[in-house]
Amino acid sequence: MDQVPVKTYFVIGPESSGTRVTTTILMSAGCVGDDMHSQRLDRFINSDTGLMDEFAEADMLVVRRSVPHGGPHLYPELGEIAAKFEALGPVLPVICVRDWYANVRSKIQRGHQKNREDGYNALQKEVECISRFLVGWYKPFYIFNTSLLFGDPWRALCGLMEYTGLQFPPRLESTIFNADAQYE
C-alpha cells in the first residue's frame, strides 16, 4: 500500500521568536507534532528509517526548529530537515519573526543570552541561518509575525489560516496573551 502524502508545516525561527506557540496553534487545527523542546519527530529527522508508526495515520505534521537548536552554537541544517519531510509530501515553512527588542529581552530573561549585545549578535546569526535556507528553498513560505500575534491575535491568525488552509478553533485568539507587553 502506498503512503498517503503527508503535509508538513515546518516552523522555524530564532530562539525566543514564538516557534512553540506557533506549533501549538497548528496543532490546535489538527496537525500532529510536539510543542515542547523535545519532539518525537526528532527521531525521524535523526535516523535513516521511515516515519514512526505513531505518525502512520497523520496527514498533517508540524515540526519545529528553533535556531540555534540543541545548544548555543548548533545551527541546524534546515534544508536537510525539509528534504526529509519532502520525501513524505509537501513542506510548508512558517518562519516566525518577533520584534527584535522583545526577542532579545526574552533571550536574556530565559537565560539564553547574558546581555543585549550578545542577544543582538546571536539574533543576527540566527536570521542569517534561516535566510540561507530560504535562499535555496525556491518554494512558498510564510513569514509569521508573532509580535503581531501577541498584539492583534485575530489579524495574525487570519494570515496564517490563509497560508495554511487550516481552520483554527473558535475563539483561539482569546487564549493568546501579549508576551511582548512585559518588554514595553
Q: Domains of the chain: which residue ranges?
A: 7-168
Amino acid 1: pLDDT: 43
* Residue 29 pLDDT exceeds 70: yes
CATH of 7-168, one of 3.90.1150.10, 3.40.50.2300, 3.30.428.10, 3.40.50.300: 3.40.50.300
- Residue 88 to residue 127: CA distance in whole angstroms: 27
Q: What percent of the chain has pLDDT over 70?
A: 97
Please give the pLDDT value at position 33: 96
Please list, residue by residue across 95-134, b when 16 or more beta carbons sit within 10 angstroms of its beta carbon and e when fewer do. bbbbbbebbbbbbbeeebbeeeeebeebbeebbebbeebb
pLDDT band for position 52 (cuts 50, 70, 90)? confident
What pLDDT, on the 0 to 100 scale, is given for residue 3? 63
In this prediction, residues 136-154 reach a mean pLDDT of 95
pLDDT surpasses 70 at 56: yes
Number of Cβ within 10 Å of residue 45's Cβ equals 15
Q: Report, as an integer, the average pLDDT of 101-111.
A: 95
Q: How far apart are alpha carbons 156 and 158 in whole angstroms?
A: 5
**Structure confidence at residue 70 (pLDDT):** 77
Q: In sequence order, what are the beta bridge partners of 95?
A: 12, 143
Which H helix or E strand runs over 109? helix 100-109
| Percent above pLDDT 90 for the chain | 78
